[in-house]
Amino acid sequence: MKDLEIQGFGRVWFLVLALLGATLAPVRAQTTVRLDSAEAQALRRHPRLRQSDQELAEQRALKRGSFAPANPDFLFSAPTGERWAPGVVQTIDLPNVYRRQAQVAQAGITLAERNREVSRASVLRDTRLAYLSLQFTEAQVRQLAYQDSLYQALRLATERLFAAGEVTSLQRISTDAEARQITVQRQQAVADQQAAQRRLGLLLGTPTAGLVTSTDLRQTGPVLAQTGAALLGSLPAEDSSALVRSPALAYATQNVELSQSGISLVRARRTPALTVGYQNQAYENSVVKYRFQFGVSLPIWFWTYRSQLQAATARSEAAGYQLQTQRLELSTQYQQALADTRKFSSSLTYYEQTGVPQAAAIISQSQRLFRAGEISYLVLIQSLNQAFTIQNTYLTTIRDYRQALVELNYLRGE
């Protein structure tokens, strides 16, 4: 019975290989996009960056109005009681107030610029992760298509051999279960690929485009191992040094500076202001009809300025605590990303040097031994499952490693 089983599967082995080639053929033409092109397109079209641009334009417009004296008072009075005469009175703050207002406006512009850098880094990270997700699903679909075609051919062969009485019912059920499981996994991978295509398309402004990546994820493994090792070797030992270029940290730091400028502005506004006027104070036939008037505007409503100063001080302290919180959160995220990078670096090294070559050897030798009649069908299935598990884990390791690197570079401002 065993010899008949081996011979039966040997006869259908070439049919299996033919089905593999047919299954892996491309179905339809799609739009190929490279990572650098996707990044450039996302930076041009993402609404988050457009929002940041408008916020920056708002702050620049506010700075142009930082010299903002109070509105003049146009008056009509009758100093002699005989007729109405026009006049004007203008209150002007001391130059220090306008200088502080300009400093606050400039700090607001810098904060808007820092916010744009945060938005840019976030868009790049989202685009890179979306592109990686599409690469991973494409590799999964290719891998599962290979497995599915193999198991479907084996299932059909098993049905024929079972009808001929050459295999047992257990072998028939086992083959059918394996084939159905792989088919379901392939269908799920195709659905994940379509979702990844749409997710990347939304970032690029083309949600309905059938996007495909330009590089097979599996082919990026050797280069990834080299670049990751070089990055880990160049990282500083202290978190503060590694995060010095973080856009989020720069934004929080600038927010502290803006709040401190607000304190200086409130203090400057507590000083007296000058009042000048030009008013008719004489009869119509007077030699000098109009006369200048000068005065001082005193900040006597002290509770108003005291409340404003307390609010500005509280705002500055809150910004300082926000900076500390941001630094703590970034350090925690950096340590996690660094640990993930090192962990997946070791895993990738194993699969590159040992796991993947062993998987290829298992597939090749199991096929050769099966065709030669030296192993049974069950041993063949077990060997193929072991090899496919190694290959699938290799793909997952590449994805996880690149995700860790993307997060690490995002935190470092790269």
Distances (CA, A) of 215 to 43, 316, 388, 404: 21, 49, 21, 19
Do 365 and 298 touch, CB atoms closer than 8 A?
no
- At 371-410, the pLDDT tens digits run 777 877 778 888 888 999 999 999 999 999 999 999 999 9
pLDDT-based confidence at residue 135 (cuts at 50, 70, 90): very high
What is the arrangement of strands in the sheet containing 85-92, beginning at the earlier edge strand?
A: 73-77, 85-92, 273-280, 290-297
CATH of domain 2-412: 1.20.1600.10
The pLDDT tens digits of the residues spanning 351-371 come to 988 998 999 899 888 878 877
Greatest mean pLDDT among 231-240, 269-278, 286-295, 336-345 lies in 336-345
Question: Which stretch, 17-21, 35-39, 297-301, has highest mean pLDDT?
Answer: 35-39
412, pLDDT greater than 50: yes
Q: HSE-up of 147 (CA within 13 Å, CB side)?
A: 28
pLDDT tens, residue by residue, 87-118: 888 888 888 888 988 999 999 999 999 999 99
Token pair for residue 287?
A: 């030699």
On the question of pLDDT at 224 being above 70, the answer is yes
Average pLDDT, the chain: 84
For the whole model, what pTM was predicted?
0.82
Residue spans of beta strands (DSSP E) within 261-388: 273-280, 290-297
Length of the chain: 414
Note whether 316 and 260 are within 8 A (CB): yes
User: And the tokens for 233?
Assistant: 């070797």
Number of other residues whose CB lies within 10 A of the CB of residue 312: 19
Q: Quick one: CA dihedral 51, 55, 56, 57, positive or negative?
A: positive
Query: Going by C-beta distance under 8 Å and a sequence separation of 6 or more, which residues neighbour residue 20?
Result: 146, 149, 150, 153
Tokens of 30: 């799609």
Cα–Cα distance for residue pair 18/25, rounded to 1 Å: 11
The SS3 call for residue 90 is: strand
Q: For residues 369 and 325, what is the distance between their CA atoms, to the nearest angstrom?
A: 62
Reported confidence tier of residue 11, pLDDT bands at 50, 70, 90: very low
Rounded CA-CA distance 212/134 in Å is 7
**b/e string for 22-36 if b means 16 or more Cβ within 10 A?**
ebeeeeeeeeebeee
- Cβ(128)–Cβ(39) under 8 Å? yes
SS3 content of the chain, % helix, strand, coil (to 5): 75, 10, 15
Evaluate whether 279 touches 253 at the Cβ level (below 8 Å).
no
Give the model's confidence band at 14: pLDDT under 50 very low, under 70 low, under 90 confident, else very high.
very low
User: What are the φ/ψ torsions at residue 22 (nearest 5 degrees)?
Assistant: -70, -35
Task: Return the pLDDT at 15.
Answer: 43
User: For position 234, what pLDDT does the model report?
Assistant: 84
Domain borders along the chain are 2-412
